[in-house]
Amino acid sequence: MLTTLVGAVVVLLHLAGVLAAMHAVMHTRTPQGAFAWALGLVFLPYVTLVPYLYLGRSRFHGYVDLHRRRRGQMQALANGQLPTGTASQQACERYSEIARLLGARFHDGQRLKLLVDGEATFEAILGAIGEARRCVLVQFFIIHDDALGRRLQQALLERVRAGVEVCVLFDGIGSHALPRQYVETLREAGVAIHPFATQRRSNRFQLNFRNHRKIVVVDGTRGYVGGLNVGDEYLGLKPPLSPWRDTHLQIEGPAVADLQRSFAEDWHWVTGELPPLLRPGPGHGGARTLVAATGPADRQETCSLFFTALIHAARRRLWITTPYFVPDPAVMAALRLAVFRGVDVRVLIPARPDHHTVFLATGLYAHDAVRAGIRVFRYQPGFLHQKVTLVDDDTATVGSMNLDNRSFRLNFEIGSLHVDRGFAGEVERMLDEDFAQAREVTEAEYLQAPYLRRLAMHVARLFDPVL
């Protein structure tokens, strides 16, 4: 009897695995991902079936349908309150395909302030919130209920009690440890606060699509974007990853309107309403800025194409910093071609892991990159989490985007591209200091590693579709 029952369960699991494999073949975005899932589901359904329920779905029809049917309508409503951008065509011509891809525009006259670590970032953000008079929009992937999280909470409570309208979004997966009491304290005081999820009804099987954006807008005039979340580790207060290396950016000028548009799109999905949208101040700076909001509901794989186009634009220099270096074939090919054009291509990655699987995969891709003539460096003092790119002498990007499949295809991301020699010079000086504290990777790092570690690196790369 027991044998018959076990046999029936095995048959049912294999049948379910075959059906799931058919679903994976039909709906997984990349051939590599489809093949990996199908192989595991058919031959090892006992191991892969439950992970596929959580991680394998590549579509979430509710959000995609709303995103595509109503995005234009929502943007029209926002555009009625916010200006559109214009910038000197000649200066930004080499990035015109990025603008067309994203349906975005460059804005003239941005004033930029590079925030080179957690202390500088949150001093600026909390200071700006403390000065708010009309509206504060806040969006983070992670908010922790720790010392920094409570500083943010108190700043928001103080502003809402002063009559300022405050809207907060946090990712339901990234902030899964955020206590209900933290949220309720804000809500009871009058803060409009909501978790972001890709489906309006609860779906415990949907873990794959995450809103990784970090946006703060104060009174429509000052915007913040970059790599930092809200937690003590981002201030370098949690060994063994401290000191934490990260970068954020303050923007003042018309481009802040596009940060508000991105926030409004996510807010509209969660609440069905638009947040307060305020016209940004006039541009008094020298930077031309494009805000790049990407996500898995886009018809194109906009994040991957954004990086590919950016790499192809480089003629003299291309410096990239990323905590997770798991490039797709298009990005890796673009990096290789840049080397053949004579571009100084450098990639700065961590020397310490925060996620071991992606760290192992990053090591293998670093080896492939070095063999292709790309210079790869490991940052030594602590964990490197910054997402910054420097192109030639006049272009830099700061945002939330990593060079991995999760950012390319699974996460909602936000970044900013700036054409300005002065700002690019600031970024160059910052990165010069970072590279000075890094060790260059050679082929020996992989070749002299123990066999089991090299095997683990290759196994980790099999999980590229969900890294």
Task: Tell me if residue 392 is catalytic.
Answer: yes
| Domain co-membership, 70 together with 116 | yes
Q: Tell me what the mean pLDDT of segment 232-254 comes to.
A: 96
| Domain co-membership, 65 together with 164 | yes
Predicted local distance difference test score (pLDDT) of residue 60: 53
Q: Tell me which of 23, 67, 144, 212 is the catalytic residue.
A: 212
| Domain co-membership, 313 together with 421 | yes
* pLDDT over 60 (residue 356): yes
CA distances from 439 to 311, 425, 442, 450 (A): 23, 23, 9, 20
Omega into 275 within 30° of 0, i.e. cis?
Answer: no
Q: Is 135 a domain residue? A: yes
Distance, in Å, from the CA atom of 154 to the CA atom of 186, rounded to the nearest integer, reads 9
Q: Is 100 a domain residue? A: no
Q: Is 331 a domain residue? A: yes
Lowest mean pLDDT among 108-122, 181-195, 286-300: 286-300
Q: Rounded to the nearest 5°, which phi and psi values hold at 178?
A: -70, 120
Q: Which residues contact 62 (CB under 8 A, 6 or more apart)?
A: 198, 199, 200
Percent above pLDDT 90 for the chain: 72
> In this structure, what token pair is assigned to residue 229?
């979340």
Tens of pLDDT along 174-225?
999 999 999 999 999 999 999 998 655 544 444 567 899 999 999 999 999 9
* pLDDT over 90 (residue 26): no
* pLDDT over 60 (residue 173): yes
Domain boundary among 254, 287, 320: 287
| Domain co-membership, 72 together with 192 | yes
CB atoms within 10 A of CB 388: 25
Residue 389 β-bridge partners:
320, 397
* pLDDT over 60 (residue 331): yes
Q: Tell me what the mean pLDDT of segment 154-178 comes to.
A: 96
| Domain co-membership, 183 together with 200 | yes
| Domain co-membership, 338 together with 270 | no
Q: Is 101 a domain residue? A: no
Q: Tell me which of 219, 246, 258, 464 is the catalytic residue.
A: 219
| Domain co-membership, 346 together with 241 | no
Distance, in Å, from the CA atom of 362 to the CA atom of 323, rounded to the nearest integer, reads 9
Task: Tell me if residue 354 is catalytic.
Answer: no
Percent above pLDDT 70 for the chain: 85
Q: Which residues contact 337 (CB under 8 A, 6 or more apart)?
A: 311, 312
Task: Tell me if residue 344 is catalytic.
Answer: no
Distance, in Å, from the CA atom of 283 to the CA atom of 110, rounded to the nearest integer, reads 5
Domain boundary among 229, 264, 287: 287
* pLDDT over 70 (residue 142): yes
| Domain co-membership, 130 together with 34 | no
Distance, in Å, from the CA atom of 380 to the CA atom of 378, rounded to the nearest integer, reads 6
* pLDDT over 70 (residue 240): yes
CATH number at residue 435: 3.30.870.10
Q: Tell me which of 107, 387, 418, 434 is the catalytic residue.
A: 387
Residue 332 is which amino acid? M
Distance, in Å, from the CA atom of 454 to the CA atom of 459, rounded to the nearest integer, reads 9
Domain boundary among 255, 287, 319: 287
| Domain co-membership, 273 together with 145 | yes
Going by their DSSP bridges, the two strands 287-294 and 411-419 should be labelled as antiparallel
Q: Tell me what the mean pLDDT of segment 135-144 comes to.
A: 98
Predicted local distance difference test score (pLDDT) of residue 57: 56
Task: Tell me if residue 61 is catalytic.
Answer: no
Q: Is 102 a domain residue? A: no
Q: Is 294 a domain residue? A: no
Residue 273 is which amino acid? E
Q: Sorting pLDDT into bands at 50, 70 and 90, what band is 90?
A: low
Task: Tell me if residue 268 is catalytic.
Answer: no
Range of the domain at 408: 302-466
> In this structure, what token pair is assigned to residue 423?
């700002």
Q: Tell me which of 145, 385, 420, 434 is the catalytic residue.
A: 385
Q: Tell me which of 23, 214, 248, 418 is the catalytic residue.
A: 214
Among 168, 418, 382, which Cα is nearest to 275's? 168
Going by their DSSP bridges, the two strands 344-350 and 411-419 should be labelled as unpaired
> At CA 142, angle to CA 135 and CA 195, rounded to 5?
65
HEC sequence for the chain: CHHHHHHHHHHHHHHHHHHHHHHHHHHCCCHHHHHHHHHHHHHCHHHHHHHHHHHCCCCCHHHHHHHHHHHHHHHHHHHCCCCCCCCCHHHHHHHHHHHHHHCCCCEEEEEEEEECCHHHHHHHHHHHHHCCCCEEEEEECCECCCHHHHHHHHHHHHHHHCCCEEEEEEECCCCCCCCHHHHHHHHHHCCEEEEECCCCCCCCCCCCCEECCCEEEECCCEEEEECCCECHHHHCCCCCCCCCECCEEEEECCCHHHHHHHHHHHHHHHHCCCCCCCCCCCCCCCEEEEEEEECCCCCCCHHHHHHHHHHHHCCCEEEEECCCECCCHHHHHHHHHHHHCCCEEEEEEECCCCCHHHHHHHHHHHHHHHHCCCEEEEECCCCECCCEEEECCCEEEEECCCECHHHHHHEEEEEEEEECHHHHHHHHHHHHHHHHCEEECCHHHHHCCCHHHHHHHHHHHCCHHHC
Predicted local distance difference test score (pLDDT) of residue 204: 41
Distance, in Å, from the CA atom of 329 to the CA atom of 372, rounded to the nearest integer, reads 13
Residue 319 β-bridge partners:
346, 390
Q: Is 198 a domain residue? A: yes
Lowest mean pLDDT among 23-32, 296-305, 341-350, 353-362: 23-32
Tens of pLDDT along 67-89?
555 555 556 555 656 766 665 55
Residue 195 is which amino acid? P
| Domain co-membership, 147 together with 265 | yes
In the block, which residue shows the tokens 């063994």? 240
Mean pLDDT of the chain: 89
CA distances from 437 to 241, 378, 382, 432, 440 (A): 15, 9, 10, 9, 10
CB atoms within 10 A of CB 239: 9
Among 22, 64, 11, 17, which Cα is nearest to 44's? 17
Task: Tell me if residue 284 is catalytic.
Answer: no
Distance, in Å, from the CA atom of 24 to the CA atom of 43, rounded to the nearest integer, reads 14
Q: Is 362 a domain residue? A: yes
Tens of pLDDT along 397-431?
999 999 999 999 889 999 999 999 999 999 999 99
Q: Rounded to the nearest 5°, which phi and psi values hold at 280?
A: -70, 165
| Domain co-membership, 27 together with 78 | no
Q: Sorting pLDDT into bands at 50, 70 and 90, what band is 45?
A: confident
Total tally of structural domains belonging to the chain: 3
| Domain co-membership, 113 together with 208 | yes
